A and B are shown apart, each in its own frame.
Chain A
Amino acid sequence: MKKKIIKKQEILIGGTIDRPGSSRDYKTGFWKEQKPVWDNKKCIQCGLCVNYCPENCIPFKDEERKETDFDYCKGCGICAELCPVKAIKMNKEDKNE
């Protein structure tokens, strides 16, 4: 994942941010050392991982769990730990991906 960095000259004094929603640009996904791999076939759609994800980055739409948003997933592994059917495995993150 490539990180977007604001140029030094464009940083406002005092770290002030002059537009809303900028935390979306701060993709914390690059922090992760491990990546959750989700097996849709094993998944029973219980929604535990969705509710417990501290980053709120597992989407649940139309009564269905969707793929994790890796832009924000920090790789904490809570989803894999909780999954009652072991449908999520933590793999080593390939930083060059």
Chain B
Amino acid sequence: MSKQKSVKYKALTGGEAAAEAMRQINPDVFSAYPITPQTPIIQSFAQKVADGEVSTKFILVESEHSAMSVVVGAAASGVRAMTATSSQGLALMVEILPIASGLRLPIVMNLATRALSAPINIHNDHQDAMLARDLGWIQIFCENNQEVYDNNFLALCLAEEMSLPVMICQDGFITSHNTEKVEMISNSQVKRFIKKYQPKFSLLNLKKPITIGSLALPDYYFEIKKQVSEAMAKSGEKYLSFGQELNKITKRNYKYFEAYQTKNAKAVIVALGSTAGTIKFVVDKMRKDKKNVGLLKINLFRPFPYQEIKEILKKIPVVGVFDRTLGIGSYAPLAGEIKHCLNAKQIFQDFIYGLGGREIDPKDIEKTFENLLKIKKSGLETKYLGLRK
């Protein structure tokens, strides 16, 4: 285990924060293939493996399809297995993603979100994460490096409790490559929090031989898939209860969402990821000018907490939704979910922004809030922020 002395704070990029959490988790197997902007995760973790700070078996592979297959095999054998990827890498893993959830394997993946090709682009948006939103993976979105670090521990506990894979999404480059102050949890506290892993089934337990990946035809498939969705539905509550446990150590909150200045708000923007931080800055500024605006930052995207969001948004007259992904022939993913949480009287406007890393700055957000405060009826058309006219 780690020879490092415990320090209270470290200056880490989001990628390093994920690697630092993995050092403390010390998974039995880590397999990944490098892709921008996931690179700082795998690079700094590889360093820790080489330095002997962890006893993890780092399995190098020739593609993400193989990386995901390796962690599926490792998890099926009853050990802790983790991976990390981005964009096209996740797209290549897609074949194996529902296998991981269908076999109920507690795999933890750090995803540095990035645009999907074509055109080829290495910068941030959420198209890759949204590609995997209906494949039985729990999805946690992080605003900053601290959340990336903390959520790794939560994700591991949640995955093992529910026997479901978890994806921790951080914004590529914006989070993964920017250095921030991260408050560390001591090695011993981490060890106590994540406990010793007791797999429900293990292929390597010779005393209890099992079959994994059995054929299930029309007479069984439906029931087995329903079990996945039932487990997913229950995992929300578990996220909160593990969050409460972690809160005792860190004093930070781990909730379905963060309602920032939503009290008495006339207009609220719902957003995912790092943009929430920028919106908070704008909300603070506008609140000083006596403009009642607020933010709802979604932390847990899968399972989606419909009831709780409905409750928190019910008194908000105007709701804007920020999606950093396209809705092609449909509402964008977050907009579609939030629409389910609103009543007929509430005004709803969806926005698409920041594709392929297009910057969104506080001025754009302030202007959007101003427009939302003036809006009289629900927008019939999706609005695009930062798109050239």
Contacts and interface: CB of A to CB of B under 8 A. Distances in A.
Q: Does A associate with B in a complex?
A: yes
Interface of A: 3, 5-6, 8, 11-20, 22
A14 B103 contact: yes
Contact of B211 (A6, A13, A22): A22
Contacts of A16: 103-104, 201, 210-212, 214
B163 A13 contact: yes
A96 B184 CA distance: 68
Interface stretch (B20-28, B216-224, B298-306, B349-357): B216-224
A15 B210 contact: no
Contacts of A11: 220, 223-224, 227
Given A3-B219, A13-B227, 17 more contacts: A6-B220, A11-B220, A13-B104, A13-B200, A14-B102, A14-B103, A14-B104, A14-B105, A14-B224, A15-B103, A15-B213, A15-B224, A16-B103, A16-B104, A16-B212, A17-B210, A18-B209
Contact of A20 (B201, B209, B213): B209
A20 B211 CA distance: 8
B8 interface: no
A13 B211 CA distance: 12
A6 B223 CA distance: 11
Interface string B87-118: 00000000000000011110000000000000
A8 B224 CA distance: 9
B196 interface: no
B343 to A, nearest CB: 36
Interface residues of B, number: 21
A15 B200 contact: no
Interface in B213-262: 213-214, 216, 219-220, 223-224, 227, 231
A13 to B, nearest CB: 4
Chain A interface mostly? loop
B345 interface: no
Given A13-B104, A14-B104, A8 B214 contact: no
A20 B214 CA distance: 12
B307 to A, nearest CB: 25
A16 B227 CA distance: 12
A40 B163 CA distance: 55
Contacts of A13: 104, 163, 200, 227, 231
Contacts of B200: 13
Contacts of B163: 13-14
Contact of A15 (B105, B208, B214, B231): B214
Contacts of A17: 210-211, 214
B174 to A, nearest CB: 36
A61 to B, nearest CB: 29
Nearest to B201: A16
10 contacts: A5-B219, A13-B231, A14-B212, A14-B224, A14-B227, A15-B213, A15-B220, A16-B212, A17-B211, A20-B209
A74 to B, nearest CB: 13
B178 to A, nearest CB: 38
Contacts of B219: 3, 5
Most chain B CB inside 10 Å of its own CB: which residue of A5, A8, A14: A14
Contact of A18 (B102, B104, B208, B231): B208
B216 A15 contact: yes
B198 to A, nearest CB: 15
Nearest to A17: B211
Contacts of A15: 102-103, 213-214, 216, 220, 224
B224 A18 contact: no
A88 B103 CA distance: 43
Give me the 3 closest cross-chain CB pairs, A-B, nearest first: A14-B104, A17-B211, A14-B103
Contacts of A8: 223
Most chain A CB inside 10 Å of its own CB: which residue of B102, B163, B211, B224: B211
